[in-house]
Amino acid sequence: MEIALLIVSILLIAIVLLQSNKASDSSQIISGGNDVLFQNQKERGLELIITRLTIILGILFFVISFIMFIQ
């Protein structure tokens, strides 16, 4: 189980680093770019896959950690 947790942890770190930087959108709010403030942007393509993979790996991480805690 420790090996599975290690693999999931490394994959989770790598996939989080691959995600797009959304901090630049936040800086536009402060500088006056209000058109981005209420805009609803949908993720598409590779960004959607990366987001879903991040959620799946996060859930796997918690499940494996919980199973290891119980044992």
- pLDDT attached to residue 23: 54
Q: Give 69 or 39, the one with higher predicted confidence.
A: 69
CA 69/CA 31 separation, integer angstroms: 47
Query: How many structural domains compose the chain?
Result: 1
Collect all residues with Cβ–Cβ distance below 8 Å to 51 and sequence separation of at least 6: 19, 43
* pLDDT at residue 51 is higher than 80: yes
**Exposed e or buried b for every residue in 13-23, given b needs 16+ CB within 10 A?**
eebeeeeeeee
- pLDDT attached to residue 13: 95
CA 10/CA 2 separation, integer angstroms: 12
* pLDDT at residue 26 is higher than 70: no
Taking alpha carbons only, the member of 9, 19, 17, 11 closest to residue 50 is: 19
The boundaries of the domain holding residue 50 are: 2-70
